[in-house]
Amino acid sequence: MIPELGHFALILALAVALVQGTLPLVGASRGDLRLMALGRTAALTQAFLVLLAFGALTQAYVTSDFSVLNVVDNSHSAKPLLYKISGVWGNHEGSMLLWALILALFGAAVAIFGNNLPDTLRSRVLAIQALIGVGFLAFLLFTSNPFQRVFPAPPDGNGLNPLLQDPGLAFHPPLLYLGYVGFSVTYAFAIAALLEGRVDAAWARWVRPWALAAWCFLTLGIALGSWWAYYILGWGGFWFWDPVENASLMPWLAGTALLHSAIVVEKRDALKSWTVLLALLAFSLSLLGTFLVRSGVLTSVHAFAQDPARGMFILAFLLFVTGGGLALYAWRAPQLQGGGLFQPVSREGALILNNLLLCTLAATVLLGTLYPLFLDLLTGNKVSVGPPFFNATFVPLCAPLFAALCVGPFLGWKRAELWPALMRLRIALVVSLAAIVVAMTMIDSRSTLAALAFGFGVWLIVGSLASLSDRVRSGTLRTIPRSTLGMVISHAALGVVVLGSVATSSWNTELMHTMKPGDRVDFAGYSVLLERMDEVRGPNYIAERATLNVSVGGKPYTVLQPERRLFTVQRRQVAETAIQTNLLRDFYATLGEGNPQQGWVIRLYLNPLAPWIWLGAALCALGGFVSLSDRRLRIGAPSRKPALQPAE
């Protein structure tokens, strides 16, 4: 009964979305207030209905209702409750429902928090949101119904993909979707602006919080995914340039560019059509990512059930949304007139450089991801584009970006001098040069590039904090606008990420050793003893567990217990790494294949600064949230008054 209610709620939601996607648009063009007001009610109703459907599916998972096909395929009664719940979105249908839910919730958020928006703009934004929702709800109902029943109901389910049975993975998709779908709001704002033919400072101020919120969630989602890959795949790496990782990185890069260019629109009334394009692209790239993952045109570790028919539907939808948006852009954007003039060396100039580099990065990732597909189709050659390509293209492009990042905030609007800005950064410059020298002489003299990259990390941190130095001196640190504080935090956090990734990938130590219980091995100053091997039973798996006693200079230091879990229902093995961290480095151990006669393969890694990668990413998102709490964004009344924030 409850699954049918869920199904019914979903159908009703589609009907409401159709109303929400059409009538307010008509109202906005005719100036009919009653039709426009419909948008708000419809957005709230639609969110309620999709929430009901999602609740119904969750109920089926929690109670292990095996008369629902989706539950049979992806759950099992022996699964812990957390994974029963995360199983809801650990599959194609459920994750699409989560997507539709978040979309509807964002629509409701616009309806609730959009009081300060002009009626026409708000109703247009809500209508565009609803039209996107129509696509997803129709996709769910017509090709991927999560409420499909099965008769007779089997006694138990097939279980969730063991790789997904992990706390990190339980929250990775919701966060990622909050990011992807959050950009639907900026997309809707862009379309509404093109329809109205008006992009101004007020528009930019309304768009920015939504872009910022989406960006924060996407940052967290990507970081969580990378952290998961780090500790569960057991390869010691944290980013693999897998097509699906790339799919999430592209909207992040476009979204980052959007955050920065929207500032120029807000403060200087320039870069209008470019900002609108970025708002369209951030969401389009999110959809492209979905298409690449779900359609099966590329292979990846994230294999959802892949089906060409679904692929065609998503492609058609992608074409409709992106193509429609870009066509409207080609038609209306040339009429957007920019006002502000500025010199190349200025805050605007620095932000343009930032945008150019970020978009080049996004294009590079796009090319590297799609090149194998294009080449295969055109010539039949199979190639795989992996880390060497991205290391040779992506990383060098980061250098000018990072170099300019610290200088930009010191440049004034319209026209600025480079030299005074650099003088104010002289301490940061000296400190980072010193860091390069230290890295080259004391850590690793072979890798000049790693030392340089390390220096860039230090530069980002010290250079970002340098912009606070004046306020510290004048004692006005407390009155700093939240948006400036957020910027400093995020910029410095990027430096933390850079330090973590450079140190982990360049200066790590690893050892692969076959050991039997009682064997001892020396590793990077530690002595590691394989004390014993145990067989342990989890709720739905059996595992081999190694107990490694790590000691330094004869004194016990820590105990690591890596496992290999065999999930009994799916007969699939998953490595559970053991990580001991002191926040400066990770001691990382994984257990490989083995048997009592020949011993087990044990891999040990010492990853310096590895925790900083995720710590930095979390800080980066925190900076975004701090900026989001700025008064200016909450009090969104359009004003032409000079900005509160001094242009420093």
Partner 1 sequence: MRRLLFILPLLTLALMAGFFAWSLTSGRDPASIGSVVVGRPAPKLDLPALRPGEPPLTDESLRTGKPVIVNFFASWCTPCLAEHPLFTRLREREGATIVGIAWKNKRDDATAWLKKLGDPFKLAGLDLDGKTGLDWGLSGVPETYLIDGAGIVRRHYRGPITERDLNETILPFLKGAVK
Using CB under 8 A, which of 315, 398, 443, 452 touches partner 1?
315
* C-beta separation of 38 from 23 below 8 A: yes
For the beta sheet containing 599-608, the strands, ordered from the edge strand earlier in sequence to the opposite edge, are 509-515, 599-608, 585-595, 578-581
Residue with the two structure tokens 């925190």? 622
Least CB distance to partner 1 at residue 572 (A): 9
The answer to the question of residue 542 lying near partner 1 (CB under 8 A) is no
**Residues of this chain, 547-586, that bind partner 1 according to CB under 8 A:** 571, 573
- Is residue 291 a contact residue for partner 1 (CB under 8 A)? yes
Out of 226, 295, 364, 490, the residue judged to bind partner 1 by CB under 8 A = 295
Helix, strand, or coil (residue 133)? helix
* Residue 168 C-beta: closest distance to partner 1, Å: 24
Of 73 and 119, which has the nearer Cβ to partner 1? 73
Give dist(CA 160, CA 89) in Å, integer: 10
Q: Mark the segment that binds partner 1 (CB under 8 A) among 10-18, 30-38, 309-317, 343-351.
A: 309-317
- Looking at 63, 197, 374, 532, which residue binds partner 1 (CB under 8 A)? 374
CB of 16 to partner 1, least distance (A): 30
Q: Which is nearer to partner 1, 306 or 558 (CB)?
A: 306
CA dihedral 385, 389, 391, 395 (to 10 degrees): -120
Within a 10 A sphere around the Cβ of 582, how many other Cβ atoms? 9
**What residue type is assigned to position 91 of the chain?**
N
| Residue 323 sits in the site that holds partner 1 (CB under 8 A) | yes
C-alpha R_g of the chain: 26
Nearer to partner 1, 192 or 298 (CB): 298
* # residues near partner 1 by CB under 8 A: 35
Nearest to partner 1 of 380, 553 (CB atom): 380
| Of the candidate residues 78, 297, 345, 480, the single one contacting partner 1 (CB under 8 A) | 297
Q: What residues numbered 330-349 form the site for partner 1, per CB under 8 A?
A: 330, 333-334
Options 176-184, 222-230, 322-330, 503-511: segment touching partner 1 (CB under 8 A) = 322-330
The whole-angstrom separation of Cα 186 and Cα 593 is: 49
Cα separations (Å) of 609 from 146, 431, 458, 497, 613? 43, 19, 13, 9, 8
Q: Decide: residue 339, CB within 10 A, 0-12 exposed, 13-18 middle, 19+ buried.
A: exposed
- Toward partner 1, which CB reaches closer, 383 or 635? 383
Tally of CB atoms within 10 A around 31: 10
Closest CB to partner 1 among 382 and 478? 382
The answer to whether the bond into 152 is cis (omega within 30° of 0) is yes
Q: Is residue 155 classed exposed, middle or buried when 0-12, 13-18 and 19+ CB atoms within 10 A define those classes?
A: exposed
Residue 284 vs 286, nearer CB to partner 1? 284
Measure CA 391 to chain center: 20
User: Which residue ranges make up the site for partner 1 (CB under 8 A)?
Assistant: 273, 277, 280-281, 284, 291, 295-299, 308, 311-312, 315, 318-319, 322-323, 326-327, 329-330, 333-334, 370, 373-374, 376-377, 380, 382, 571, 573, 593
